[in-house]
Chains A and B, each alone.
Chain A
Amino acid sequence: MKFLQSVGANTLAKVSAAGRAALMLFGALAAVPKAKNIRLTIRQVYVVGVQSLLIIIVSGLFIGMVMALQGYTILVDYGAEGSLGPMVALSLLRELGPVVTALLFAGRAGSALTAEIGLMKATEQLSSLEMMAVDPLRRVVAPRFWAGMISMPMLALIFSAVGILGGHLVGVDWLGVDAGSYWSIMQSTVDWDKDVVNGIIKSLVFALVVTWIAIFKGYDSIPTSEGISKATTETVVFSSLAVLGLDFVLTALMFGIE
């Protein structure tokens, strides 16, 4: 009986949290953005996007380099090292770019968003905004949400581009794959709609999920040090799992049925 009760209570809590999350997002996005909010959004793009550039570039470089190294040792056995370019490019554009960027974004920017909004709640800044007749959803939540949506696809593209250059560095410059075939086979294999656009769609979906989770967890956190630490952890865990799960679904939809 107790078990059933706890299952029921948990389900109810989850459903009502989902409802609160939807209301929060709706409340934040229903308004027509004002010039002032656009300035706030640009500032947030700097915080969550530009300041994430370093980790994205370094990670992209190393992942590209590792893929070239691994790919080369496999492909060279079949004399197919010319296909190194498309292999690196396709894996990055279709999968690793959006997915790893989203995971890094959740750890770097998502956790910061949760902690920031949670602390604003704990220090009564959100309450005081409300009492000053300024809607915290529009003032605090909306700019951060849009900043996430704008930054993530760009970060994913930068990640892929740097990764391809990293693959070039290892494959062409160090292991001696022909530069012409690296680029030209990549050019003929990579399809704009199927690969690049699908990758961007993926990262838009991930941006929505990660930013939404991060902001909601902060907004809905229990305003104590323990509550905020729990919310920050949950942001990283939930958004990472959501990204990986959704990636499978999206991949199945985009590439599963040929």
Chain B
Amino acid sequence: MDNLVEIDNMTFRRVDRVIYDGISLHVPKGKITAVMGPSGIGKTTLLKLIGGQLTPDAGDICFAGDSVVSMSRSQLYKARRRMSMLFQSGALFTDMSVFDNVAFPLREHTRLSEDVIATIVALKLQAVGLRGAASLMPSELSGGMARRAALARAIALDPDLIMYDEPFAGQDPISMGVLVKLIRELNDALDLTSIVVTHDVKEVLTIADYIYILADKRIIGEGTADQIRNSESELVQQFLKGEADGPVPFHYPANPLESSLFGGEQ
């Protein structure tokens, strides 16, 4: 089996709003798969669906061959030990030091002695360049450092799959470069499978093995970085070039301006 995550004809609604309308998407093992799309399209929702925090209205989502949708609670919790997620905010526990944050999943899910845990945590922090920051509290970290600390926590249990939720959002160029390098290196060194959800086109085209572009409830383009760059779809080109108007309109749907100015409409 070559795909770690397979999404098959999946539909998801929030109240009345359709977020995804029958999308299919595959995440091959050992590769970095990027999911791009304009903000507000529900990219984070996609990760929560894969993690089983949300349930699709139709279709199936498989992780390592098992359907996440039909898993029992205990099966789901077992599967989640093999996946991890890097949240946009980092989501570090604010009442614990960086060390304890990284040690948290180890203490929860293993019976390792504190000595062994300390060694593992030191290695994980070394991998993200924060071994010297182990004793700091999350409030003392910069945004980029917090995200790296969260990354160390995410790889603490050596997962099979790691999902990055907007890893580059709000980062300065240096920490952006650091994160790009980390995502690539960790994926290759730890034999991970990565899903990167983002709208930072330039960064993602340099590291992703395969790219999906989401818009308007469906997948509008997919392929390797080169295929995406050369795509003939207007929608894909608008997204890559960051044009303000195009198939994705600049204006939120509304009545014509004239009618609202002169038509007496309130």
- In the complex, what residues of A have CB within 8 A of residue B11's CB? none
- In the complex, what residues of B have CB within 8 A of residue A133's CB? 77-78, 80-81, 108-109
**Closest residue of chain A to B109, judged by CB?**
A133
| Stretch touching chain A among B64-72, B85-93, B197-205, B231-239 | B85-93
Does A135 reach chain B (CB closer than 8 Å)?
yes
Q: How many angstroms from the CA of A130 to the CA of B79 in the assembled complex?
A: 12
Q: Assess whether B51 is in contact with A131, with CB atoms less than 8 Å apart.
A: yes
Contact partner of B53 (CB less than 8 A), chosen from A125, A131, A135, is A131
Q: Assess whether A132 is in contact with B53, with CB atoms less than 8 Å apart.
A: no
Q: Assess whether B88 is in contact with A131, with CB atoms less than 8 Å apart.
A: no
Contact partner of A127 (CB less than 8 A), chosen from B91, B92, B94, B109, is B91
Q: Assess whether B84 is in contact with A132, with CB atoms less than 8 Å apart.
A: yes
- In the complex, what residues of A have CB within 8 A of residue B89's CB? 123-124
Give the residues from 74 to 110 in chain B that come closer than 8 angstroms, CB to CB, to chain A: 77-78, 80-81, 83-85, 87-89, 91-94, 104-105, 108-109
Q: How many angstroms from the CA of A128 to the CA of B92 in the assembled complex?
A: 8
B contact residues, range: 20 to 34
Q: How many angstroms from the CA of A239 to the CA of B94 in the assembled complex?
A: 28
A218 to chain B, nearest CB (A): 15
Q: Assess whether A130 is in contact with B88, with CB atoms less than 8 Å apart.
A: no
Q: Assess whether A125 is in contact with B88, with CB atoms less than 8 Å apart.
A: no
> How would residues 230 to 261 of chain B score, 1 for a CB under 8 Å from any chain A CB and 0 otherwise?
00000000000000000000000000000000
Q: Assess whether B83 is in contact with A131, with CB atoms less than 8 Å apart.
A: yes
A40 to chain B, nearest CB (A): 11
Q: How many A residues face the partner with a CB closer than 8 A?
A: 11
Q: How many angstroms from the CA of A123 to the CA of B77 in the assembled complex?
A: 21
- In the complex, what residues of B have CB within 8 A of residue A128's CB? 85, 87, 91
B147 to chain A, nearest CB (A): 12
**Closest residue of chain B to A122, judged by CB?**
B89
- In the complex, what residues of A have CB within 8 A of residue B92's CB? 125
Contact partner of A130 (CB less than 8 A), chosen from B53, B105, B108, is B53
Q: Assess whether B53 is in contact with A123, with CB atoms less than 8 Å apart.
A: no
Does A175 reach chain B (CB closer than 8 Å)?
no
Does A38 reach chain B (CB closer than 8 Å)?
no
**Closest residue of chain A to B165, judged by CB?**
A124
Q: How many angstroms from the CA of A127 to the CA of B91 in the assembled complex?
A: 8
Q: Assess whether A124 is in contact with B88, with CB atoms less than 8 Å apart.
A: yes
Contact partner of B93 (CB less than 8 A), chosen from A125, A130, A135, is A125
Q: How many angstroms from the CA of A127 to the CA of B108 in the assembled complex?
A: 16
A239 to chain B, nearest CB (A): 24
Q: How many angstroms from the CA of A133 to the CA of B80 in the assembled complex?
A: 5
Beyond A128-B91, A133-B80, A133-B108, 10 additional contacts (C-beta under 8 Å) are: A123-B89, A125-B92, A127-B91, A130-B80, A131-B51, A131-B53, A131-B80, A132-B80, A133-B81, A135-B77
- The interface of chain A, by Cβ under 8 A from chain B, is 123-125, 127-128, 130-135
| Between-chain CB contacts (< 8 Å), 26 pairs | A123-B91, A124-B88, A124-B89, A124-B91, A125-B92, A125-B93, A127-B48, A127-B53, A128-B85, A128-B87, A130-B51, A130-B80, A131-B51, A131-B53, A131-B80, A131-B85, A132-B80, A132-B84, A132-B104, A132-B105, A132-B108, A133-B108, A133-B109, A134-B105, A134-B108, A135-B77
